[in-house]
Amino acid sequence: MTVDELTKGDKGDLKIAGHRGEYPENTIISFEQAINNGCSVIETDLHITKDNEIVITHDINTLRTYGFNYQVIDESYDTTLSKLRTKLKPHCQMPTFKDVLQWCFEKNKECQVKLMLDIKRDNDPKLIVDLILENLSNVGPFGPDSDSNGNLNGNLNYWKDKIMFGIWDSSFYDSRMESFEIVVIVIDDLLCEGIVNSILQKGGRVDYISIIAIMIHIPNKIKNLINYCRDNDFKIWFWTINNKVDLKLAKDYCNYDESALLSGIVTDDPAMITSDVEPVLSLNYHVRLFFTKKFYQGFVYLLQNKYNVTPIIAVLRRIGGDTIPAVTVTPVSIGYGVISPLHIKDGSLVYTKNGSLYTPLTYNFPLIESEYFLNKNKKLLSKEQNYKLISLGSINNKWTVEEYDQFTTIIDNIRFINSVVGLVIHDFNGLEINLPYLKSALRDMKDYLIKNKMRNIPIGFQFNSSVNKDHLHYLSCNSKRVFDFIYHDDKMILNPLTNIECPVDLKISTKFLPVTPRSSRCDCIMSVLKCMVDSSNQVQDSKSIELIDQICSLVQCNSIKDDLIKGQYGLFSSCSNLQKLSMVLNLYYTMNISNNSSSSASSLTLDSKYCDWNGVAKLTNFEYSVEHVQKLFDFNGLSCKQEIEDDWNHHYIGKSVNDVDSDDIIGCVLF
């Protein structure tokens, strides 16, 4: 078999993406050699450094490739990472993304070269896209471009057919990617549809599905995924194929000679893949395949360990290497008695002499709004030595996955800004119905700091008007996670309430809180829906809410609804409105189908009669059992069974509102 037979079909050339190659991986010289060996695409890995430089390296740690034990996110490129050289000859420098763009720009003067960006999951989703677009704007034929918001002009327009965004889950999708090709990278067939649907329901687009190559040797999985791609017009990439046997299998599964379904492969060995070497089934091949398949079920666990094996080190640093002077304030009264002097040391935390957190009324700190912080001035703020507070955002009668992601993104970005002395959550409306969501947001952010081994940054509330005493008592009672301060008139006021009984005059329940929002939980349930929103219809948020209310007048929607008076909160109430609309469409559909068949999820048959709603809904091609999806693991090491611990039929099989059943309400006990 010749190289032409392997890399060409009736529908066009198979694209070969160089991943590593004959020279040290992720270096300019290895990319150059990959092009010389016949590659037309360079697949490369992106990480953000401490000084917000995007560097090209596969691992979060430099030990394997560069011989020194540095965490990429903890180090500056200019002062540390740029000085490293690869362990392998010819001992190359770690390139920046800008370096690679400049190389690609020059190379495209000779031949067509594309970049497939593997955006690693340990990056901050919004920040990495900001920095990618900034770099794309500043490299190209037009010189530095003033617009880095994704508008197609100047250099961004030049790069639109030369850049492919590779993302691992829906949280990394950004609407500014729309003008570029989008690749969803998958390690299993079952969750693929849920991730893709989540992107589509955000108004996004998916062009390619990039499939881990071991699935070629698991027939039921690869057939399911290829059929899904074919039915939805997604082109396929395989990663990483390093021998001719696997290449032939990939082509055979995709019917390559008669179909354009297979777009390309990623390889560590482009020279071998593009050579005239015949496919050989050796003993070594069979042994490697046996062990790879044997441990495939543990792959997600291994991936999780790879990205999280080294804990985040919460070291208190001095800004710019200079010592920040300690600040001392004399004792003052704030209406709750006299508190002892404030002391801030080296830009770390705010302490009293006995170690408790506080700030006296007379000490003022500026509040930096979340949008300003995220979009414009993080670099500038990290260099300033004045103490400040950062706003996480507002809570307005809900606590959703989107808000959780925004809040945690801000926390991730202040990791090295030790002049931040507090985080502020804004109470948008001051109403009693907002209190459970405020308290849940504070609980989850404090848990996030602990889970990620970050410094114990004080978290408080800002209210639009004078705060009700019962509201303050509610926010402080029956919980280990209580607010540290109130921010008012540019001042931090210590929360003096400890061991407080919950107020009895509130209408809302004081025993339960909403569950912690998790996008992976939403993705799990989305993966089993038989009826859902047709992504080709651009359903507006207001239309979603209207339809949800209409459908929920017919079918029980306890899974997505909150009852604050009873303290009953839907397990999926934090999902997006489009996701919740899909869930209630499925509840209505399965309610009607199950009335004519068995009531188990696995036995339902497809019938479009109850899945239309004037073209809003459509039937899915889902063919997997709930039991299979429950075994899948997300990147936090939790299975879908752990994400949704109770009977899935409660959230999947609809029941009439006339049926009396409250078992499918999930609440979170305060602790």
Show Cβ contacts of residue 617 under 8 Å, excluding neighbours closer than 6 positions.
Answer: 531, 532, 533, 534, 585, 589, 611
Res 294: pLDDT: 57
For strands 114-119 and 41-48, give the pairing. Answer: parallel
Per-residue model confidence (pLDDT) at position 190: 67
The three-class DSSP label of residue 486 is strand
160-174, 477-491, 512-526: segment of lowest average pLDDT: 477-491
Q: Which of 74-88, 214-228, 482-496 has the lowest mean pLDDT?
A: 482-496
Residue 346 structure tokens: 């080296």
363 and 503 inside one domain: yes
**Percentage of the chain with pLDDT > 90?**
37
Interval 592-646: pLDDT, tens: 987 665 545 545 556 678 898 988 999 987 777 788 888 887 766 788 888 898 8
From residue 244, how far is each of 74, 240, 271, 505, 577 by CA, in Å? Answer: 40, 12, 11, 73, 46
* Whether the predicted pLDDT of 567 surpasses 50: yes
Residues 365 and 249 in one domain: no
Whether the predicted pLDDT of 174 surpasses 80: yes
Task: Using a pLDDT cut of 70, give the percent of the chain over it.
Answer: 77
Residue 539 pLDDT grade (very low, low, confident, very high; cuts 50, 70, 90): confident
Q: Do 185 and 129 belong to one domain?
A: yes
> Residues 386-412: pLDDT tens digits?
678 899 999 999 999 999 999 998 998
Question: Is residue 139, in this structure, part of any structural domain at all?
Answer: yes
User: How far, rounded to the nearest angstrom, does the alpha carbon of residue 489 sit from its chain's CA centroid?
Assistant: 35
pLDDT value for 332: 29
Quick one: pLDDT band at residue 311, thresholds 50, 70, 90? very low
Sign of CA dihedral 420, 422, 425, 431: negative
Say if residue 429 is in the same domain as residue 465.
yes
Predicted pLDDT of residue 375: 66
Q: Is residue 101 part of a domain?
A: yes
Q: Whose CA is closest to 438, among 471, 465, 464, 480?
A: 471
State how far the Cα of 586 lies from the Cα of 194, in Å rounded to an integer: 14
Q: Is the model's pLDDT at 436 over the cut of 80?
A: yes
Same-domain status, 505 and 610:
no
The 3-state DSSP class for residue 532 equals strand
pLDDT at residue number 322: 27
- Give me the pLDDT at residue 347, please: 36
Domain shared by 269 and 125, yes or no: yes
Of the candidates 212, 263, 210, which has an alpha carbon nearest to the alpha carbon of residue 240? 212
DSSP element (H, E) containing 404: helix 401-413
Q: What mean pLDDT is predicted for residues 547-568?
A: 94
Last residue of a domain, one of 510, 530, 545: 510
My answer on whether 133 and 224 are in the same domain is yes
pLDDT for 309 beyond 50? no
Report the candidate in 533, 474, 538, 525 with the shortest Cα–Cα distance to residue 502: 474
pLDDT of residue 287: 67
Q: What is the DSSP letter of 638?
A: -
CA dist., res. 424 & res. 492, Å (int) = 10
In a domain, 345, yes or no: yes
Which pLDDT belongs to residue 291?
Answer: 64
H and E: helices and strands count for the chain:
23, 28
What does the pLDDT read at residue 217?
84
Tell me what pLDDT residue 359 has: 38
CA distance 515 to 572: 9
Q: What is the pLDDT of residue 468?
A: 83
Q: Give the residue with greater pLDDT, 444 vs 465.
A: 444
Which two structure tokens, joined as six digits, stand for 427? 């109470």
pLDDT at 283: 66
Task: Assess whether pLDDT exceeds 50 at residue 324.
Answer: no
Cα(417)–Cα(381) distance, integer angstroms: 8
| Domain endpoint, select from 460, 484, 510 | 510
* Greatest mean pLDDT range, 1-5, 94-98, 248-252, 369-373: 94-98
The residue count for the chain: 671
Establish if 570 belongs to a structural domain: yes
User: Is the separation of the CB atoms in 498 and 491 below 8 Å?
Assistant: no
Look up tokens 């050989």; give the residue: 280
Q: Spell out the residues 6+ positions from residue 484 whose beta carbon is closer than 8 angstroms to its own.
A: 357, 358, 422, 458, 459, 460, 494, 495
Q: Which domain does 476 fall in, by range?
A: 319-510
Cα 201 to Cα 3, 523, 532, distances in angstroms:
41, 12, 10
Instruction: Say whether pLDDT at 146 is over 50.
Output: no
Contact 558, 534 (CB under 8 A): no
Q: Is residue 286 part of a domain?
A: no
CB burial of residue 643 (10 Å; 0-12, 13-18, 19+): buried
pLDDT for 383 equals 61
Q: Is the pLDDT of residue 58 over 80?
A: yes
Q: Is residue 301 part of a domain?
A: no
Which residue from 580, 561, 562, 563 is spatially nearest to 522, judged by alpha carbons?
580
Residues 617, 539: Cα–Cα separation, whole Å: 10
**Chain-wide mean pLDDT for the chain?**
79
Of 272-286, 390-404, 493-507, the range with the highest mean pLDDT is 390-404
Domain count, the chain: 3
Q: Which of 11-15, 166-170, 268-272, 498-502 has the lowest mean pLDDT?
A: 11-15
| 263 and 333 housed in the same domain | no
Q: Is the pLDDT at 11 greater than 50, yes or no? A: no
pLDDT score of 108: 93
Q: What is the mean pLDDT of residues 267-272?
A: 86
Report CA-CA distances (Å) from 270 to 17, 41, 89. 8, 11, 19
- Average pLDDT on 84-113 reads 94
**CA 641/CA 217 separation, integer angstroms:** 26
Integer Cα distance of 305 and 633 in angstroms: 13
Residue 485 in this model has a pLDDT that exceeds 70: yes
In the prediction, which pLDDT does 566 show? 92
438 is a domain residue: yes
Q: What is the pLDDT of residue 271?
A: 81
Report whether pLDDT(514) > 90: yes
Asked if 514 and 571 count as a contact pair (C-beta separation under 8 A), the reply is: no
For residue 124, is pLDDT > 90? no
Stretch 417-433: mean pLDDT: 86
Closest by CA to 45, choosing from 30, 299, 161, 134, is 30
Across-strand partners of 485?
A: 460, 494
The answer on 538 and 506 residing in a single domain is: no
Q: Name the CA radius of gyration of the chain, rounded.
A: 27
Report the CATH number at residue 127.
Answer: 3.20.20.190
Q: 284 near 345, Cβ under 8 Å?
A: no
Asked if 493 and 573 sit in the same domain, the reply is no
Burial class (CB in 10 A: 0-12, 13-18, 19+), 502: middle
Taking the CA atoms of 19, 20, 26 and 27 in sequence, report the sign of the dihedral they define: negative
The residues, any chain, with a CB within 8 Å of residue 235's CB and separated by 6 or more, are 207, 208, 209, 229, 260, 261, 262, 263
Residues 545 and 503 in one domain: no
Residue 377 pLDDT grade (very low, low, confident, very high; cuts 50, 70, 90): low
| Whether residue 59 has pLDDT greater than 60 | yes
Residue 233 scores a pLDDT above 70 = yes
Residues 272 and 209 grouped into a single domain: yes
- Taking alpha carbons only, the member of 622, 628, 626, 547 closest to residue 194 is 622
What's the start-to-end Cα distance of the chain, in Å? Answer: 66
CA distance 64 to 58: 10
Q: Is 505 exposed, middle or buried (0-12, 13-18, 19+ CB in 10 A)?
A: exposed
Examine the fold and report which residue of 277, 310, 339 is the final residue of a domain before the chain moves on. 277
The DSSP H or E segment spanning 193 is: helix 192-201
Locus of tokens 């209310």: 549
Would the pLDDT of 6 be above 50?
no
Whether residue 11 lies inside any domain: the answer is: yes
